[in-house]
């Protein structure tokens, strides 16, 4: 199973979590030297432990245009972005000392490989809109049919306005992606699935969402989830037209509380990755 991760996160845990879920190949797109080195160290540690994983790092910032130079801000504590830090960012980061570097950019279309990735994660602290505007005529589904994207909000650093956040959703929806879940908290976090994949597997995705929520035991399920049991696969097209009957993002506001959402999101990603890995292993038999 192959993952493309744009913007490195908490490397120490992240790569191992991917490996535990059955991921065998990870490509990071990351321009910060410290995080690049962390990625390489973790990949080597996993190889030393004879764990089956291949990894690489593409040392660019992903943006609208390729081979541009951009100013990059970092404080060495995990807060880094091509967006200039605001006073709010500096306050949250507890550091006013942001180093300024120059980095080169790469357009997301340049990341396409011979075969699509099974999972795409985007976490670039305020640069999401620049990245997605670079799609233009490029079909994102040829890169991956499942997209996890975090959008920073005003509660945290590198805030994105409500208008910009909506534009991000619109770009992805125009590309044929449907938001499987949408959580609100310190970040606006979405998991999008392309409609072609969702149409053929919507019962499976519905059950994965239910599993992720019920296992956390954090909230009362919306009544619409209970009605899904009577929906037959022949009605998949209708499900997508009436998303409030399926999608967490269209349920009662506040259904997933901000403090609870990260656990549900993490569990959901784990379940999706494990399901992909299981399906691929079965197909090899």
Tokens of 149: 């994207």
The model's pTM = 0.78
Alpha-carbon distance of 206 to 210, in angstroms, equals 6
Q: pLDDT category, 166, cuts 50, 70, 90? A: confident
Q: Show the domains of the chain with their CATH numbers.
A: 1-70+104-175 (3.40.50.150), 199-285 (no CATH)
The sign of the CA dihedral 83, 86, 88, 91 is: positive
224 has pLDDT over 50: no
Nearest to 212 by CA among 201, 221, 224: 221
151 has pLDDT over 80: no
Q: In sequence order, which residues have a C-beta less than 8 Å from that of residue 186 and are 6 or more positions away?
A: 153, 155, 156, 258
Question: Across-strand partners of 152?
Answer: 187
79 has pLDDT over 80: no
Phi and psi at residue 257, in whole multiples of 5°?
A: -70, 150
Q: pLDDT category, 156, cuts 50, 70, 90? A: very low
Q: Which residue has the tokens 């909506």?
A: 166
Taking CA atoms, 275 is separated from 118, 271, 279, in Å, by 11, 6, 6
Gyration radius of the chain's alpha carbons: 19
Q: Which residue has the tokens 């080195």?
A: 37
Are the C-beta atoms of 182 and 190 separated by less than 8 Å? Answer: yes
pLDDT for 250 = 37
pLDDT for 218 = 43
pLDDT for 117 = 93
- 42-73, pLDDT tens digit by residue? 888 888 887 888 888 888 888 888 888 887 77
- 139 versus 182: the higher-pLDDT residue is 139
Q: Which of 163-172, 212-221, 263-272 has the lowest mean pLDDT?
A: 212-221
Distance of CA 155 to the CA centre of its chain: 19
Phi and psi at residue 153, in whole multiples of 5°?
A: -120, 180
Q: In sequence order, which residues have a C-beta less than 8 Å from that of residue 48 and are 6 or more positions away?
A: none
Alpha-carbon distance of 239 to 247, in angstroms, equals 9
Per cent of the chain over pLDDT 70 is 66
* Dihedral angle of Cα 225, 230, 236, 241, to the nearest 10 degrees: -50
Distance of CA 258 to the CA centre of its chain: 17
Residue 29: half-sphere exposure toward Cβ, Cα within 13 Å: 24
Question: Across-strand partners of 5?
Answer: 28, 121
């Amino acid at each position: 199973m192959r993952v493309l991760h744009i913007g490195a996160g908490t490397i120490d845990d992240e790569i191992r979590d991917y490996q535990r879920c059955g991921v065998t190949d990870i490509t990071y797109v990351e321009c910060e030297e410290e995080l690049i080195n962390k990625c390489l160290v973790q990949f080597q540690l996993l190889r030393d432990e004879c764990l089956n994983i291949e990894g690489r790092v593409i040392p660019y910032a992903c943006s609208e245009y390729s081979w541009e130079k951009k100013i990059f801000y970092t404080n060495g504590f995990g807060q880094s972005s091509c967006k200039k830090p605001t006073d709010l960012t500096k306050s949250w980061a507890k550091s006013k000392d942001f180093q300024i570097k120059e980095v080169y950019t790469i357009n997301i279309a340049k990341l396409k490989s011979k075969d699509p990735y099974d999972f795409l994660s985007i976490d670039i602290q305020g640069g999401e809109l620049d990245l997605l505007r670079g799609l233009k005529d490029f079909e994102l589904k040829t890169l991956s049919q499942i997209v996890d994207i975090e959008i920073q909000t005003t509660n945290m650093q590198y805030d994105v306005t409500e208008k910009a956040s909506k534009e991000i959703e619109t770009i992805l929806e125009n590309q044929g992606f449907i938001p499987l879940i949408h959580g609100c908290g310190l970040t606006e976090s979405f998991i999008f699935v392309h409609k072609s994949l969702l149409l053929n597997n919507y019962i499976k995705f519905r059950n994965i969402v239910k599993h992720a929520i019920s296992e956390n035991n954090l909230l009362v399920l919306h009544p619409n989830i209970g009605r899904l049991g009577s929906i037959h696969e022949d009605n998949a097209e209708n499900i997508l037209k009436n998303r409030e009957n399926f999608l967490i993002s269209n349920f009662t506001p506040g259904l997933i509380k901000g403090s609870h959402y990260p656990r549900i999101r993490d569990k959901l990603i784990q379940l999706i990755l494990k399901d992909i890995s299981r399906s691929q292993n079965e197909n090899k038999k």
